[in-house]
């Protein structure tokens, strides 16, 4: 099934240059590493027939481990992390595969009665279509009450799958993205 569409969100990065190497845990010119739980996200961009979409552009943005975006309109009082910008653009390989190393984003308040579940925004530009979506984390208690996740017919299509092994200091997740026509 096609990966469900989600909103672009209010905190798309402004005035920042995206990282292009797929590792959001380091910032060029900074002396440290991003704070938080390191994760490695792998997956493939596929069409609805299961064929890989080579060269798809994935633009990724997310909150830091404290639940704050590096965006001037984010009024969350959570701290910024000087070693994390949370914004990258990468391309899928010839087999449709992509890989991102980042930190698990924290939840954040949207209003007095709603906390967003941790998620990563994705803008996927295939050969013939564009999909804006969000990826959520498995086993996250806030998933069940996240209004955007629960607004889609098949929320499980937006939740990454844990991979059985870990890679040293971080957890590995898989999130395949299915475009209707690639």
Calculate the average pLDDT of the chain. 93
Residue 45: pLDDT over 90:
yes
Q: Which phi and psi angles does 112 have, rounded to 5°?
A: -70, -20
* Distance, CA of 117 to CA of 105 (rounded, Å): 9
What domains can be seen in the chain, in order of their start residue?
A: 38-179 (2.60.130.10)
Mean pLDDT of all residues in 34-48: 96
pLDDT band for position 20 (cuts 50, 70, 90)? confident
Listing DSSP states for 15-72 in one string gives S-PPBSSSBTTB-TT-SSB--S-EEEEEEEEEETTS-B-TT-EEEEE---TTS--SST
Is the predicted pLDDT of residue 114 greater than 90, yes or no? yes
- Active-site positions? 69, 108, 116, 119, 121
Q: What is the pLDDT of residue 19?
A: 86
- The pLDDT assigned to 167 comes to 61
Contact predicate 18/89, CB 8 Å: yes
Convert the pLDDT of each residue in 131-173 to its tens digit: 999 999 999 999 999 999 999 999 999 999 999 765 667 889 9
The pLDDT of residue 168 is 65
pLDDT of residue 170: 80
Rounded to 5°, angle at Cα 106 from 56 and 164: 65
**pLDDT for position 31:** 83
At which residue do the structure tokens 């026509």 appear?
A: 181
pTM above 0.85, yes or no: yes
């Amino acid at each position: 099934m096609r990966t469900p569409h989600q909103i672009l969100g209010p905190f798309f990065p402004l005035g920042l240059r995206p990282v292009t190497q797929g590792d959001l845990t380091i910032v060029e010119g900074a002396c440290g590493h991003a704070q938080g739980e390191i994760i490695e996200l792998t997956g493939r961009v596929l069409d609805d027939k299961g064929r890989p979409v080579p060269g798809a552009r994935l633009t990724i943005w997310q909150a830091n481990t404290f639940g704050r975006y590096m965006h001037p309109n984010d009024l969350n009082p959570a701290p910024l992390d000087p070693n994390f910008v949370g914004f990258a653009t990468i391309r899928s390989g010839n087999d449709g595969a992509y890989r991102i190393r980042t930190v698990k984003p924290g939840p954040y308040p949207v209003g007095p009665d709603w906390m967003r579940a941790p998620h990563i925004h994705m803008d996927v530009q295939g050969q013939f279509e564009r999909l804006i979506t969000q990826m959520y984390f498995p086993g996250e208690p806030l998933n069940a009450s996240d209004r955007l996740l629960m607004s889609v017919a098949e929320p499980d299509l937006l939740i990454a799958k844990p991979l059985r092994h870990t890679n040293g200091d971080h957890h590995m997740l898989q999130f395949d993205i299915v475009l209707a026509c690639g």
